[in-house]
Amino acid sequence: MTDAIMSSVTAPPSAPLGRRGPLGSVLVHAGLIAASIAMLYPLLWMISASVRPEDEIFASTSLWPSSIDVASYLRGWFGLDVSFGRFFWNSLVVAVLTVIGNVVACSLAAYAFARLRFAGRNFWFAIMLGTLMIPYHVTLIPQYVLFLNLGWVNTFLPLVVPKFLASDAFFIFLMVQFFRGIPRELDEAAMMDGCGPWRIYWKIMLPLSLPVLATAAIFSFIWTWDDFFGPLIYLNDMNTYTIQLGLRTFVDSSSTSDWGGLFAMSTLSLVPVFFFFLFFQRLLIEGIATTGMKR
Amino acid sequence: MAAVQDTAVVVGAGAKGRPAAQGRWASTWAKHGAGYMFLLPWLIGFFGLTLGPAIASLYLSFTSFDLIRAPEWVGTANYVRIATADPKFAAAMRVTFLYVVLSVPFKLSFALLVAILLDRGVRGLTFYRAIFYLPSLLGGSVAIAVLWRQLFAGDGLINSLLAQFGIEGPSWISHPNYAIWTLVVLSVWQFGSPMIIFLAGLRQIPTDMYEAASLDGASKFRQFYKITLPLLTPVIFFNAVVQTIDAFKAFTPAFIISGGTGGPINSTLFYTLYLYQEAFGNFRMGYASALAWILVLIIALFTAFSFLTSRYWVHYDD
């Protein structure tokens, strides 16, 4: 696949000057279209495999199924002892709670860092930035022991409670950057009128920060939806499985027997992420461009 | 700053007056209390879920701990064993470094190449950008790892494609020499995020620099080499550090593609996968804690090294 991209862009990259010649522009588009096809081909093939009759999945490399057959979706949905409806519901609960936790806890902390004056603010801010650098593997085992002793294993609490304690410090950083851009005159005017910090946070900061709150919410949702490691460690009972764990179990149980069902459920598991991509693409891309997120 | 007043004339409704503050305590509270109230959830999280556990795992790394009996102090035995008598650790290090060295440069090259093609005056920029970004967004999920496992299976799609050209491909995922490459390709496929960051960086380069250079007769290639590349070095540096740290921590694709084993013959045994096996497969929690601290050490050394060497090639013009 990479070779396909390589060979399609054999022309040296023309320097980013405003204008390219007509030939250069045709070449560039040809290269970009070829690359786009190569990028999307696996995804499209998977979607198309999910609606093919079982015996046709590996018969062809084309993207058009000869006939549409949704049997794979039914087989996959009920393919395990617990239905995929349950897994989707679990994922949704964890993701929604995570979004709420992140938006509430991180915006509280970000407001303190961006606007309030208190002893030790800069010290704590530096510490907060420091926590961004530490791989979570360092705290993984003691956290597991802690949650095990609290009796939280096999519940969603280990996945959700940390978010209400602003454990995703990255979002604090994101919000601090945004809050600092809101004119201070607004806070000061409100203070003159006798507003306390809570009201300023609630009535001024949050309403003016909807773009950054939305960005944090969407990324929280997608990352949580896709998270595999956390659920893998804390959820052992199939009734508590998230969609990612459900898929993994399906791979292991059906090893190569029911590819159709597996692709059908894989396709469904990508739908929510795809939805956010379609409707909030601009926010996602701006979020990445301004903060340099990795995913 | 402004004195806190009891009378509230505010936007919206439901203003609550605050009790009149009296005495030194109250004034200290009025000054600093609000900040700490807002910071409280994060502070609890920091002490309870970050600092506390980090200290605990440092202690555990000097113990033998199986989750059932109390941790037993073993001194530096874990670290000594990691350094001298653990072939699996050596394999995990080799695989992880190989993965970093192969995936990061390819990924960044693609990201940069495509960003330059998209940079200026391409019609349908947003469309292309979206398509190239989509895999990055989906990439962390099990579904994609499952798909990859099928694509590169012996009877998978890649080999079907190759067969049309008369090439007989190996069973990529079950061959110790090729399995890692399927993971590298998966990583390169997700070049969208660094591409977007490169695009943002390219936007910062003033057009008149190129105009001046082309008036002086510099070829496009020379302009790229003399203007674009040097001015992009901070962005390249940033992307390289972030992607490398991320590659060190990769887990899900290797777990799914190898069925949790890191096989065939440890050829996809990423460091984090080994750590997971030790902690949650063999319940050697002390040993796994030591592995975690070694990972931190590696990442810290790499980062320090990057920043030290960046002085010689990263060009900040402030």
Place of tokens 């990442």: B299
Instruction: Look at residue A129 and tell me whether its pLDDT is greater than 80.
Output: yes
Question: Which residue is closest to B279 within chain A, CA to CA?
Answer: A141
- Are B35 and A143 in contact (CB < 8 Å)? no
The answer as to whether A120 is a domain residue is: yes
pLDDT of residue A64: 77
Q: Which of B49, B120, B129 sits opposite A165 (nearest CB)?
A: B49
The range of the structural domain enclosing residue A130 comes to: 83-249
How confident is the model over A215-263, as pLDDT tens digits?
A: 999 999 999 999 999 999 999 999 999 999 999 998 877 555 778 888 9
User: Does A4 score more than 50 pLDDT?
Assistant: no
- Residues in B closer than 8 angstroms to A165, CB to CB, are 41-42, 44-45, 48-49
**pLDDT tens per residue, range A141-153:** 999 999 999 999 9
A288:B197 CB<8 A:
yes
Distance CA B185, CA B187 (A): 5
Residue A288 C-alpha, separation from nearest chain B C-alpha, in angstroms:
7
Question: Which residues in chain B come in under a pLDDT of 70?
Answer: 1-26, 30, 120-121, 317-318
Say yes or no for a CB contact (<8 Å) between A138 and B114: no
Q: What is the mean pLDDT of chain A?
A: 85
Query: Looking at residue A67, what is its pLDDT?
Result: 74
Residue A87 belongs to a domain: yes
Nearest CB to B296 within list A138, A194, A292:
A138
**Per-position DSSP letters for A22-47, written without gaps between them:** HHHHHHHHHHHHHHHHHHHHHHHHHH
User: pLDDT at residue A12 above 50?
Assistant: no
Output the pLDDT for position B23: 66
Residue A106, domain CATH: 1.10.3720.10
Q: What is the DSSP string of chain B?
A: -PPP-S----SSS-----PPP-HHHHHHIIIIIHHHHHHHHHHHHIIIIIIHHHHHHHHHTTEE--SSSPPEE-TTHHHHHHHHS-HHHHHHHHHHHHHHHHHHHHHHHHHHHHHHHHHSS-TTHHHHHHHHHHHHHHTTSHHHHHHHHHHTSTTSHHHHHHHHTT-----GGGSTTTHHHHHHHHHHHT-HHHHHHHHHHHHTS-HHHHHHHHHTT--HHHHIIIIIHHHHHHHHHHHHHHHHHHHHT--HHHHHHTTTS--STTTT--HHHHHHIIIIIS--HHHHHHHHHHHHHHHHHHHHHHHHHHHHH-----
Q: Which two tokens stand for residue B284?
A: 């050697």
CB pairs under 8 A between A and B: 322
Q: Min CA distance, A69 vs chain B (Å)?
A: 20
Q: Tell me the C-alpha distance between A295 and A267, whole Å.
A: 20
- Whole-angstrom distance, CA of residue B162 vs CA of residue A4: 12
Cα separation, B198 vs A44, whole angstroms: 27
Query: Would you state the pLDDT for residue B4?
Result: 39
Identify the structural domains of chain B with CATH numbers, from first to last: 86-311 (1.10.3720.10)
Ramachandran angles phi, psi of B120, nearest 5°:
-130, 135
- Tell me which amino acid residue B27 is: S
Q: Which residues contact B168 (CB under 8 A, 6 or more apart)?
A: B159, B162
Residue A284, in any domain of the structure: no
Number of domains in chain A: 1
Asked if residue A170 has pLDDT above 60, the reply is yes
pTM over 0.75: yes
**A142 and B52: CB-CB below 8 Å?**
yes
- pLDDT for the residue A256: 54
Taking residues A80-105, report their average pLDDT: 95
Question: CB distance B128–A32 less than 8 Å?
Answer: yes
Instruction: Tell me what the pLDDT averaged over chain B comes to.
Output: 86
Give the tens place of pLDDT for each residue, B48-80: 999 999 999 999 999 999 988 999 999 999 999
Give start and end residues of each alpha helix (H) in A51-156. 71-77, 84-115, 121-133, 137-149
* Strands B72-73 and B63-64, sheet pairing: antiparallel
**Count of beta carbons in the 10 Å neighbourhood of residue A106:** 28
What is the distance in angstroms between the Cα of B45 and the nearest Cα belonging to chain A? 5
Q: What pLDDT score does B22 carry?
A: 56
Chain B residue closest in CA terms to A107: B38
Flag if B143 and A119 touch (Cβ within 8 Å): no
A191: in domain: yes
Give domain status of residue A231, yes or no: yes
Chain-chain contact of B34 with A29 (C-beta, under 8 angstroms): no
Are A197 and B34 in contact (CB < 8 Å)? yes
Contact B67 A148 (CB under 8 A): yes
Rounded Cα gap, residues A252 and A23, in angstroms: 51
Q: Is residue A33 part of a domain?
A: no
